[in-house]
Structures are given as structure tokens and as C-alpha cells.
Amino acid sequence: MRIPPFERFMRFTQGVGLVLAGMVIGAAVYHSLFQAQFDRAANQIGRLEDQLNERDSDLSKLNQFKELHSVIKTVQIRFEDGGDADSLDEPTKSRLKALLHKDLLVLEGRSVYEIDRESRLARELLAGKVYRDKDKSFTLEIKTALVVDNKLQVWASIRRRGPELSSSGQPQG
């Protein structure tokens, strides 16, 4: 049996290889663009959900305390720029903000004139508290609390904590 010479198919094989390489490179570029758009959309959804939850909460609190003029009606949390806050994505920030807001709900409905005592109590209770989001641990430290127009505005900083070790020396999950 005779085998045809390979030189006859060399140009065809090179052409097919070039087309296949172009397809792989094109698919990789398309996938990276798609992933970037998806990440941007996920961050936008996280921001919008956070705003929606905050507005719903504000609306319900304003209706609840509309007759009372000297109480804290809403709590608004902001994270300071810099450090670990910049490296976090929006959905993680939103979940951490919700966890801290849940802890600060005790201040809603309190008198504005007694906020000094209440804020010190909240700061002492939350000092060193570890918040867990999925497999990461964070410490949120309240830096500033300010009451403006019956709204308590709280600025907090985020610090990422390392993996904690159990007694067996294995990271806890």
C-alpha cells in the first residue's frame, strides 16, 4: 500500500491549524470580555439592591416615627475609603453593611439627645466583633457616628482577618 506524500497537504494543514488557533484565541478574548461585563453587572446589581433595601428601610422607619421629631429614624452606614474596603466587591460590602445595620437597629427610635450614651454602648458592644461573609472574616470598626436630620450616619472601616486556627491547627471553616 502506498502512502501519499505529505508535502501535498502541508499548505492545507497549516491553514486548518491557523483557523483553529484563531478560533481558540477569539473564544478566549470573547470570554474575557463577557466575564468583565458580567462582573460589572454583578457589582451594579449589588449597589442597586443595597440602595433599594436602604430606601425601603428608610420609608418604613419614616412612616413608623413620623409623629416623633427628636428620635433617630434611620441608620445609614458608610465605609471609609482605603485599606481593605477598596479591595472588596460590592455584594460583599452590601452584605457586611446589612450585618452591621442589623446590630445597630437598637439605636433606631432612641432620642437624639441621648445618643451619646447609646453610641458608646454600641461601640463597646461591637468592638472587636467578627463578621463572617462566606469563607472570609472581617472586623468592622465604627470610626464616626453623627446625627443629622434624625438620621444616624455611621462611618466604619473594614479590616480583613486571617484564617483562624482551631486547636487541631487546621483553619476553621
Tell whether 86 and 22 lie within a shared domain.
no
Question: Which pLDDT tens digits describe the chain residue by residue (173 residues)?
Answer: 788 777 888 889 999 999 999 999 999 999 999 999 999 999 899 889 888 988 888 788 777 777 777 888 888 888 887 767 777 888 888 888 888 888 888 778 777 777 677 666 666 667 778 888 878 888 888 888 888 888 888 888 888 887 654 444 444 54
**Domain assignment present for 55:** yes
Burial of 89 per CB tally in 10 Å (0-12, 13-18, 19+) = exposed
Provide the residue range defining the domain that includes 99: 75-160
- Establish if 62 belongs to a structural domain: yes
Please report where in the chains the cell 454602648 appears, as a residue.
121
Number of domains within the chain: 2
| Domain assignment of residue 98, yes or no | yes
Spatial separation of the C-alpha atoms in residues 104 and 123, rounded to whole Å: 10
Amino acid 21: pLDDT = 97
Asked if the structure places residue 169 within a domain, the reply is no
The model carries a pTM of: 0.61
In a domain, 148, yes or no: yes
Return the H-helix or E-strand segment holding 156: strand 151-161
* Residues 156 and 92 placed together within one structural domain of the fold: yes
| Among candidate residues 67, 88, 103, the one where a domain is terminated | 67
Indicate whether 153 and 90 sit together in one domain. Answer: yes
Q: Which 8-state DSSP code applies to residue 146?
A: E
Asked whether residue 85 falls in the same domain as residue 133, the answer is: yes
Look at strands 74-79 and 130-133 and give their pairing. Answer: unpaired
Residue 3 lies in a domain: no
CA angle at residue 97 from 129 to 102, to 5 degrees?
Answer: 70
Residue 61, classed as helix, strand or coil, is helix
